[in-house]
Structure 1
């Protein structure tokens, strides 16, 4: 991005703000032809007053347009900025369903098949750590899913329409969950809590207890991120007990996966409050569920299975200060199933283990894991405030100049070496 001519940088941010050349020209008091020439490099942009006005309209730091060192960001990893977060917030502030109590909503019919494809693509993108891509698609995805859900009047529905309404509610609940997951990654925890909480209510209307279970641990994740570990623990355990499969028809891969993930998230919350016994009990129960499942799977987007249990055991050990256990758990992972996990899960785990190596003073290994995580899923490192904190911790403990790959990563993130 820094190597681009200034006109190309203006074009990039104008497009990212979803502004046409004409709209942009109107806002800075220029002609569309002037904007086009600047963006193509035909006309020079050398007046600071104009540059600052453009930066103001595009809502970016002027240094971004100048190609300043503190904003180095490779084109392949475009993280989300506050303007784009506000667009998601605006979509979440839609309360058409309340208006529908008083008058039929005026909404466009949305194709559920097309919506389902878009949501599936968003899930896949999230689990491959394409957070910027997902976040920029979320405002429209939320509006479409909300419109699809609001399109039916309960009082005058046929049986077919009732089934369609349930499908629409299911898709809306998924969309809220995607929003909650992405917002948590970006450090927008309050907004993520709102989205996850919405998902629980809509899941009930969809009549799917497993969907509600998945939404529950996303609410608990938001609570945990906000420092509310004890309520997060109680919520996960409470719902896990209600979804615990006994025997017969209840023992489905889907139910085992959701139940298992609730236990894992409960174990993480217990570790955060220093409750070693509860954390181990919950991990043991999750292990049993994973054994019954037999292998790692992605039912209800949980990525639950034996390998993910091991990853959570390592993460819980880090939070409990058992850094040696975290590292030995990592080193005993079977490379084949670990390598088959989705990039988000693997990179997240490497950051967790990096924390353990940092605490034990093995900074070379910590740096190696961070660089490897960046190779696997750049957005997991470059777009997450948590990863920035971990990198800063490694650099602070380092003596002398860090290895070139780590220094380059720090440079990309704008973290002082």
Structure 2
């Protein structure tokens, strides 16, 4: 049976399809999904996969967020996060005003450490704390960098803009995340650090990946590799190169290019074997574990759920792995388990993601769609699942 209410991705697809003057059959003819699946998604009997959402958004020439319904205003208000977004938006907008005469910034080493701590807060999914501290730190480092320019300060500022991007994505403010990436590029250019530029291209590629623009995503990854050619050979360069291959792997999976998926995974494995677990480098969580986790994600995007679960069974998450990354893995695993008909296992994985990173899981579109799917297949909704559905606002 469908969920209560009409506020779900399928209903939004139906709304925007009708606004475009298309019947269900006409839309199905324009996308690589069946008419039957589209009707089930629109009625709320099937969850909408990220790829289907991106494909429909691209076909209807609308933003993905128009279909996902993010940001989730009610939940954000309950978590006391909604009021913190405007100061972040203002901090990103005022980036070019130079030094603030009312700010007496801390020494460079302390500011660099503060920028690192902010990254760590987001990866530990302490979203409220990070959102509270971010605007002030942007203003402080901006002032310090304008008064006494140095590559260290510009790099720290680039890092805070990257954190603004990460935070915006986790809360569903994708328009703000794009602005943050532009600011990251502005600061990275002043730091004269090609590694930062390459990381920024990787993150831009993921923006286009979410929008279903896979060709552009691949071009951005290629541009990132080009920037790396300007960097001195180092462990850090290996890490960023490996992460670029992982991004390209997932983009290729969405594009149904199995050959490219295998090629990029193989390249990433080679880099991972050389650097080991490198969770500290640009907070990319790169290493053998991340390669294995991406193999799971790639198989899910290829709709090969049995292979995804086979890969997932071999993943052992390190204790020092970023909480945000571990929670994302459990959400992916839950999706594969649900699609494979293993509802109890899927519910267990979602609960694990929630235990690790409650705020991130609450706003994760994949978690919400998986919970929705579990509700539909359950003959009798377990109390835990019913509670989860209410918790994410379904």
The TM-score, its normalising length taken from structure 2, stands at 0.75
Asked whether 1:208 is paired with 2:220, we answer no
Q: Take 1:92 and 1:413, find their aligned partners in 2: how far apart are those partners?
A: 29
Aligned CA distance change for structure 1 residues 322 and 338 (closer, same or farther; 3 Å): farther
Q: Take 1:368 and 1:267, find their aligned partners in 2: how far apart are those partners?
A: 27
Aligned to 2:159: 174
Aligned to 2:132: 136
Partner residue of 1:393 out of 373, 380, 388: 373
CA positional deviation for 1:343? 1.2
Aligned to 1:237: 222
Q: Deviations over 1:70-100 (max 9, x none)?
A: 968999xx3622x322221111111435xx6
Aligned to 1:405: 384
- Counterpart of 1:301 in 2: which secondary structure? coil
Q: Deviations over 1:201-242 (max 9, x none)?
A: 321210111121112212222222233332112211332254
Q: Take 2:102 and 2:248, find their aligned partners in 1: how far apart are those partners?
A: 40
Aligned to 1:301: 283
Q: Deviations over 1:216-269 (max 9, x none)?
A: 2122222222333321122113322542699xx61x221111111111111111
Aligned to 1:219: 204
Q: Take 1:255 and 1:73, find their aligned partners in 2: how far apart are those partners?
A: 37
- Counterpart of 1:297 in 2: which secondary structure? coil
Q: Take 1:91 and 1:332, find their aligned partners in 2: how far apart are those partners?
A: 43
Larger radius of gyration: 1
Q: Take 1:407 and 1:191, find their aligned partners in 2: how far apart are those partners?
A: 32
CA positional deviation for 1:324? 1.0
User: Is the CA contact (8 Å cut-off) linking 1:240 and 1:263 kept in structure 2?
Assistant: no
Aligned CA distance change for structure 1 residues 278 and 72 (closer, same or farther; 3 Å): closer
Q: Deviations over 1:23-79 (max 9, x none)?
A: xxxxxxxxxxxxxxxxxxxxxxxxxxxxxxxxxxxxxxxxxxxxxxx968999xx36
Q: Take 2:102 and 2:366, find their aligned partners in 1: how far apart are those partners?
A: 39
Aligned to 2:347: 367
CA positional deviation for 1:125? 0.9
Unaligned ranges ≥5, structure 2: 1-72
User: Is the CA contact (8 Å cut-off) linking 1:268 and 1:316 kept in structure 2?
Assistant: yes
The TM-score, its normalising length taken from structure 1, stands at 0.71
Asked whether 1:93 is paired with 2:96, we answer no
Partner residue of 1:196 out of 136, 157, 181: 181
Unaligned ranges ≥5, structure 1: 1-69, 152-160
Aligned to 1:414: 393
Asked whether 1:110 is paired with 2:105, we answer yes
Asked whether 1:376 is paired with 2:356, we answer yes
Q: Take 1:398 and 1:107, find their aligned partners in 2: how far apart are those partners?
A: 58
CA positional deviation for 1:199? 0.9
Aligned to 1:323: 305
Q: Take 2:74 and 2:190, find their aligned partners in 1: how far apart are those partners?
A: 45
Aligned to 1:46: none
Select the structure with the greater relative contact order (CA < 8 A; seq sep ≥ 6): 2
- Counterpart of 1:299 in 2: which secondary structure? coil
User: Is the CA contact (8 Å cut-off) linking 1:371 and 1:406 kept in structure 2?
Assistant: no
Q: Take 2:80 and 2:271, find their aligned partners in 1: how far apart are those partners?
A: 36
Aligned CA distance change for structure 1 residues 188 and 174 (closer, same or farther; 3 Å): same
Q: What is the RMSD computed on CA atoms of the aligned residues?
A: 2.6
Aligned to 2:253: 271
User: Is the CA contact (8 Å cut-off) linking 2:197 and 2:227 kept in structure 1?
Assistant: no
- Counterpart of 1:300 in 2: which secondary structure? coil
Q: Name segments (4+ residues, structure 1) moved above 6 Å.
A: 70-75
Q: Take 1:407 and 1:168, find their aligned partners in 2: how far apart are those partners?
A: 48
Alignment of 1:239-258 (within 5 A): 239-243=224-228, 250=233, 252-258=234-240
